Structure 1
Amino acid sequence: MKFSYSGLSLAVAAALSTCAMAQDILEVTRPLPISAVISSDDTEALQAAPASDGGDLLRTITGVSGSRMGGRGIDPVVRGQKQNQLNIILDGAYLYGGCPNRMDPPTTYTAAESYDRVTVIKGNRSVIHGPGGSGGTLLFERERPVFDSDKPYRGQISAAYIGNSDTANLSADLATGSERGYVRFITETSDAGNYDDGNGDVVRSSYQTESNALLAGFRLADRTWLEASYDQVSEDDVLFPGAGMDSPYSDSDTWRLKLDHSTSGGFVERVRAEVYRSDVNHLMDNYSLRTPSMMMMAAPTSSDTTGGRLLLDSRITGHELQWGMDHQENSRDASAMIAGGMMAGTVGGIQWPDVTIKQTGLFGEISHYMASGDRLKVGARYDLVRVDAGRTDEVFTGGGLAGQTPNDRYGANADDSTREHNLSGFVSWTHRISPQYRLESTVSRSVRTADATERYMATSTWIGNPSLDPEQHHQLELVLASETADLSWSLAGYYNRVDDYINRTASLNATGSHYENIDADLYGLDFELVWQINENLQLSNGIAWVKGRNRDDNTHLSQIPPLTATLALDYRRAAFKAGVDWEIAAQQNEVCLAGGCNGLDVRKTPGYGVLNLNAGYDFNASVSLAAGVNNLFDKAYAYHLNREDALGNSAQVNEPGRTGWMRLTARF
């Protein structure tokens, strides 16, 4: 089934959630429902334009933004936190992109058709999904298919076309099986050209991508399932106007094995054991897909991750307990190779000098339900972090750094090995004020270790800091929510005091861009509302506001989204549906510019308003047609969030101008 949607449907899902205790946990299934959890039979849910990747899909959620570097590879930002401040988990597996400059964040490898459910957890509200996650956790999940006894198969085929970029997309999701087991195959291919922005200017954004997933599950016993899967994603000829390089290829392979066993009684009621391996190979260069510069450079990179988790469910005198351990080991290697002239084949810089980060965690969280209907939930985890780099003494053989080593670039901060002992946890209390109103309060601490780029980047204009301390986030959040038959809303306010926030400075001189620990604050509000006007009309609204402050010098943090809002009206009657949504962003004047406070913001970004239309018709239970126009008035605009290229230059990439699209879906 096609997994694409509008900002309206996400706002609906968040506000009407009955299984989530607050707006901070949003669960959506495919297709996107108007309630938080829906079965796969509910195919009448609201849908809109196809998303280019998982990051594009997520950023219509209230409180979630994203930075654009090209036609895909949208890097999500939740409440002003980004990159490794978010835990992004693909059906149980961690995958870290192969580009030091994040041409390929993990969401790039999430083909829209390949996952049944997306869960967005804003802030630190759980300890079972791995270390860190101060900004939130993004779970892309698959569900075990269920078959009728007289129909041992199911399938969906979808074809879509997007006019502005001349994008053709074809996908299929096919499964067969019984109560004893199943086999499922999911495939998607997209071929996109460059798009025009609202000014009519061509944005270099074309790409080709293909993904395939093969899944198999076997019931070993009445309460025991063994499931295995293999995912392969290939990206070719991906152009990036927001970078000094393009990507001729970027490929990932992911293997998973899961065991799920439920007991018939005893202290442990359920055991889930999972192992995975994800390998990413990526190439970026500045000559094969664009006019070569005077200095031709290529950067072949790899990022390989191995990990697993043991999760146990128990019950202690009425208390629900989840506990266990997890481990992940990510190894990254990347060099900047000079590709032309007399120095061809020499090393001009090392982005990742054979860096391995191992994180082993022990965790547990327990829920206590009170007679009044209130819930108290407490969680804690301990993580042992071990970091090693193997090439920090390797000598650069070409370019302006010839004769130096990465350790020379780091200077007095050089350290090839690091060990950390990190403690995280939370306490959450949900109070039912009345049948209509509930109040939730959460206090949490989360610790995020510095990643390979922040520690060990070593180029002429971009330098890591091996001595970085881990970020320590201490957050307080309050949520007030109201639910009635026709009107639901929620308001969340949060404050995050960060000790040792890892801050990247701009590249202003020969010393290059570098990383430092500072103290910072992040605070803001999320508001969501859904009003069922009548049986055919539904109005929804979402507002997100966040601010970031450097406590050391009282300046603004870089790359903080402005005040944003969505307003949507949807109509549905019988087989016909239609919707209009208005995306609004205020101007962002609270910036940290390179020439001001040595930050990464490009400019003070003007505000914008964009109108999108969509409509659909179900010919029968098996065939449906959807179409629409995004950016109806051809507005020229860009998100405030931008990217920095390998040379430290920052740029904003304009969003697509007026874009018509159409999608035909057949189910059987």
Structure 2
Amino acid sequence: MLYLRSAVVGALVVAGVHVAAAQDDHSPAEQSLVEQPMATLGHIVVTAAAPDSALTFTIDPRLPRQPVPASDGADYLKTIAGFTAVRNGGTNGDPVLRGMFGSRLNLLTNDGSMPGACPGRMDNTLSYVSPQTYDLLSVVKGPQTVLWGPGASAGTVRFERTPEPFEHAGLRAHANVLSGSYDRNDQMLDLTAGARYGYARLTANHSQADDYEDGNGNVVPSRWKKWNADVAFGWTPGEDTLLEFSIGGGDGEARYAGRSMDGSQFERNSYAVRFERRNPGGLLTEVTASAFLNDADHVMDNYSLRDPNPMSSMPMPRASNVDRRTYGGRVATTWGLANLDWTVGLDAQASRHRRRSATGRGMYASLPWTTDAEFSNVGAFGELTWRFAGKNRVIAGARGDRAEVTDERQIGAGMMAMPNPTAGVTRREILRGGFLRFEQDLNDMPVVWFAGIGHAERMPDYWELFSADRGPAGAMNAFTGIGPEKTTQLDLGIQYRGEHLDAWASAYAGRIDDYILFSYMRGGMMGTTSRVDSIDARTRGGEAGVEYRLRHHWTLGGTLAYAWGENRDANGALAQMPPLETRVSLAYDNAQWSFGALLRAVDRQSRVAIDQGNVVGRDLGPAAGFVVVSLNGGYHLSSHVQITAGIDNLLDRNYREHLNLAGSADFGYPADPVRIAEPGRSAWVRMNLTFK
């Protein structure tokens, strides 16, 4: 893949130079290549996302944001109130919504799934996502849709590239370059050429950074680099018909202060096809079908980006290579009749996980692969919207899934592993889900409110079934001892949209039966070991936001997010719950110049369950609160070109997030767990270019 990576970087640099050289005024020849009208660039810097409703968010992830534009999908999601991430250094944090983690979040890219391969989620789904190469990020909080797959008890996240139809022959381009502290540098190109009957689109990016320094000037091992390239070919025989094929790849590496190994390879290969037909006739208003194949080939080792620690449990060079191939598809039809719309469809997905490992530099590559798990899921779904009595709506949905998983391990998990008692055993589960929501637009007021209840049943994922050293007491292992997780949640929300004021609030209360919880035991000759159990849990919390547009181009805004969880079996705190967080922003934007300030304040978290959590992180103890101030500014050079810049952590605070990994002894961190510190003061500047 080296030649492809070099080609991507070269193309980005060349394209950036050519696009940057373009002017507002074009010759007749140039005008034939650039679609009219010309684009007008949007917001300068995004500091907090505003919802379409109190439940649903739709964002353009290509917009610059503060803190420094995201290197992965989890980082960008933190722009939305309620999201945070389990931090482990510079990149590839694991996304968390309202304290819920892993496959409780349905994470999709172009409606395909890429769950990653690492048993410790070093390469979680969003580590393969470069947000700025997508057109749309959509989020639905809670179990309030059934259209995009099973589970999704915490919510549904979709990164999408939208179709690119053309009325006339033309060229569209979007590019940006970024430079920042700690040798951060990014380049991105999105180039589409097309005509009435089709288009071709290239999307590519390269991004990297060195180790950062915390607020005390200490170096935190965190350097990374990554690249992605995707090509799509669309056929548009009519304005209501699309057939698109796409192929893509990528790779990268990342050093982690909080892990005993680094990621020396994040190779991705993706293939997809989709078909869309609108207004085919009669009651049928739309038909969509898609299929995908995603392959993640991940290598982690203790020698490529660090030196082996002779005092650790891995004193010699060692590497582990894991691979996960996931493929599936979806067919949906949408129907309409008067005030009634409904969508029905089928989806299916299968996944194979395999691994190999060896002591010695590069020795793993000579070994054969061993398959350890196979998954499959087939589901049927239906969702209906009924509009009645003017401004009232009822939205309801239901789905059923048949999930299957086979344990292919010959040896069980853990450091003292014995022959696997469930080798070759297949588990099958029937999963049910659904929701019912009422929405109303109030008369004579720009207010919408809703109340909804949803239920989701989730099959335990790869990490819950195969990564823990032990299962619940009395079970042979986690594979036999852990059953489906069942979430029932009430969601409430209200939103006001006025001439000068927008405000929204949402709240939730959930009951989770058979919640899957990891517990960690430290010390002894076996080091830290893990056990997975099923408990009963309760959750509640909410988010709120406000934006007030003052006179003379000034805007004042803020968001608030709070999550609370209880382990009902232990009568105590549910682990890995984020603390209370607020963001306050002040911005000036006169369509040419912009300035902004962001204050992020996070409360201390004293309600913890030490050594409990998930497959990635655990509560390490109470965490201190902190306040971080950041500044940004921007200037529109033209309708096509904008310059944005920012200073993050202006006061150079030394702080640590509550959801965090403990620093590895390989880098000199103490044996008693210490959270990894966040970057100190850092600056960045970005040039954004758009032609349509």
Q: With structure 2 as the length reference, what TM-score do the two structures score?
A: 0.86
Cα deviations by residue, 1:625-653 (Å, 9 ceiling, x for unpaired)? 11110000011112111237999996532
Contact kept, 8 Å, 2:165 with 2:198, in 1: the verdict is: no
Q: Residue 35 of structure 1 corresponds to which residue in structure 2? A: none
Q: Distance in 1 between matches of 2:432 and 2:111?
A: 22
- Matched residues, number: 632
Of 152, 168, 173, the residue aligned with 1:133 is: 152
Q: Residue 494 of structure 1 corresponds to which residue in structure 2? A: 508
In the TM superposition, what is the alpha-carbon distance from 1:263 to its structure 2 partner?
Answer: 3.7
Q: Distance in 2 between matches of 1:383 and 1:428?
A: 22
Q: Residue 304 of structure 2 corresponds to which residue in structure 1? A: 288
Q: 1:5 to 1:325 in 2, by over 3 A?
A: farther
One-letter amino acid matched to 1:328:
Q
Of 180, 189, 199, the residue aligned with 2:206 is: 189
Map 1:169-184 onto structure 2 (within 5 A).
169-184=186-201
Identity across the alignment (%): 29
Q: Distance in 1 between matches of 2:199 and 2:389?
A: 42
Q: 1:631 to 1:3 in 2, by over 3 A?
A: farther
Q: Distance in 2 between matches of 1:72 and 1:545?
A: 24
Map 1:235-634 onto structure 2 (within 5 A).
235-236=252-253, 238-294=254-310, 295=314, 296=316, 297-339=318-360, 354-390=372-408, 392-394=409-411, 401=416, 404-407=418-421, 416-434=425-443, 435-457=445-467, 464-508=478-522, 512-594=529-611, 600-634=618-652
One-letter amino acid matched to 2:645:
A
Contact kept, 8 Å, 2:471 with 2:481, in 1: the verdict is: no
Contact kept, 8 Å, 2:285 with 2:334, in 1: the verdict is: yes
In the TM superposition, what is the alpha-carbon distance from 1:31 to its structure 2 partner?
Answer: 4.7
Cα deviations by residue, 1:586-632 (Å, 9 ceiling, x for unpaired)? 00000011399999201211001111111011111122211110000
Q: Distance in 2 between matches of 1:364 and 1:406?
A: 40
> Is 1:75 equivalent to 2:85 in the alignment?
no
Residue 56 of structure 1: SS of its match in structure 2? helix
One-letter amino acid matched to 1:655:
E
Cα deviations by residue, 1:35-62 (Å, 9 ceiling, x for unpaired)? xxxxxxxxxx977732111111111211
Q: Distance in 2 between matches of 1:596 and 1:300?
A: 25
Q: Residue 8 of structure 2 corresponds to which residue in structure 1? A: none
In the TM superposition, what is the alpha-carbon distance from 1:219 to its structure 2 partner?
Answer: 1.4
Q: Distance in 1 between matches of 2:231 and 2:614?
A: 50
One-letter amino acid matched to 2:150:
P
Cα deviations by residue, 1:382-435 (Å, 9 ceiling, x for unpaired)? 000011122x22489xx9637x2244xxxxx88821100011000000122332
Contact kept, 8 Å, 1:3 with 1:50, in 2: the verdict is: no
Q: Residue 56 of structure 1 corresponds to which residue in structure 2? A: 75
Q: Distance in 1 between matches of 2:229 and 2:480?
A: 38
Mean Cα deviation higher: 130-139 or 510-519: 510-519
In the TM superposition, what is the alpha-carbon distance from 1:330 to its structure 2 partner?
Answer: 1.5
Residue 480 of structure 2: SS of its match in structure 1? coil
Of 171, 194, 209, the residue aligned with 1:153 is: 171
Q: 1:47 to 1:666 in 2, by over 3 A?
A: farther
Q: Residue 36 of structure 1 corresponds to which residue in structure 2? A: none
Q: Distance in 2 between matches of 1:653 and 1:576?
A: 37
Contact kept, 8 Å, 1:48 with 1:614, in 2: the verdict is: no
Contact kept, 8 Å, 1:464 with 1:515, in 2: the verdict is: yes
> Is 1:29 equivalent to 2:68 in the alignment?
no
Q: Distance in 2 between matches of 1:58 and 1:595?
A: 24
One-letter amino acid matched to 2:426:
S
Residue 506 of structure 1: SS of its match in structure 2? strand
Q: 1:651 to 1:490 in 2, by over 3 A?
A: same
Contact kept, 8 Å, 1:536 with 1:573, in 2: the verdict is: yes
Q: 1:569 to 1:395 in 2, by over 3 A?
A: closer
Residue 93 of structure 1: SS of its match in structure 2? coil
Q: Distance in 1 between matches of 2:320 and 2:569?
A: 36
Q: 1:644 to 1:90 in 2, by over 3 A?
A: farther
Contact kept, 8 Å, 2:146 with 2:399, in 1: the verdict is: yes
Q: Distance in 2 between matches of 1:103 and 1:456?
A: 15
In the TM superposition, what is the alpha-carbon distance from 1:86 to its structure 2 partner?
Answer: 0.3
Q: Distance in 1 between matches of 2:411 and 2:243?
A: 45
Mean Cα deviation higher: 511-520 or 580-589: 511-520
Mean Cα deviation higher: 180-189 or 260-269: 260-269
Q: 1:574 to 1:474 in 2, by over 3 A?
A: closer
Residue 274 of structure 2: SS of its match in structure 1? strand
Contact kept, 8 Å, 1:70 with 1:242, in 2: the verdict is: yes
Q: Residue 638 of structure 1 corresponds to which residue in structure 2? A: 656
Q: Residue 690 of structure 2 corresponds to which residue in structure 1? A: 667
Contact kept, 8 Å, 2:72 with 2:128, in 1: the verdict is: yes
Q: Which runs of 5+ in 1 are unaligned?
A: 33-44, 408-412
Cα deviations by residue, 1:472-522 (Å, 9 ceiling, x for unpaired)? 000001112222111121121100100000000113365921111100011
Q: Distance in 1 between matches of 2:278 and 2:365?
A: 56
Residue 247 of structure 1: SS of its match in structure 2? strand
In the TM superposition, what is the alpha-carbon distance from 1:30 to its structure 2 partner?
Answer: 5.0
Cα deviations by residue, 1:525-567 (Å, 9 ceiling, x for unpaired)? 1111111112401111100000111011111111110000000
One-letter amino acid matched to 2:264:
P
Q: 1:135 to 1:569 in 2, by over 3 A?
A: same
Residue 47 of structure 2: SS of its match in structure 1? helix
Q: 1:501 to 1:645 in 2, by over 3 A?
A: farther
Residue 132 of structure 1: SS of its match in structure 2? coil
In the TM superposition, what is the alpha-carbon distance from 1:279 to its structure 2 partner?
Answer: 0.0
In the TM superposition, what is the alpha-carbon distance from 1:339 to its structure 2 partner?
Answer: 3.7
Q: Distance in 1 between matches of 2:206 and 2:277?
A: 35
In the TM superposition, what is the alpha-carbon distance from 1:269 to its structure 2 partner?
Answer: 1.9
Contact kept, 8 Å, 1:4 with 1:48, in 2: the verdict is: no
Q: 1:115 to 1:31 in 2, by over 3 A?
A: closer
Residue 475 of structure 1: SS of its match in structure 2? strand
Q: 1:170 to 1:445 in 2, by over 3 A?
A: same
Contact kept, 8 Å, 1:6 with 1:49, in 2: the verdict is: no
In the TM superposition, what is the alpha-carbon distance from 1:458 to its structure 2 partner?
Answer: 6.3
One-letter amino acid matched to 2:259:
A
Q: Distance in 2 between matches of 1:562 and 1:514?
A: 25
Q: Distance in 1 between matches of 2:648 and 2:60?
A: 23
Contact kept, 8 Å, 1:547 with 1:560, in 2: the verdict is: yes
Map 1:653-664 onto structure 2 (within 5 A).
653-664=676-687
Contact kept, 8 Å, 1:167 with 1:193, in 2: the verdict is: yes
Contact kept, 8 Å, 1:559 with 1:642, in 2: the verdict is: no
Contact kept, 8 Å, 1:5 with 1:50, in 2: the verdict is: no
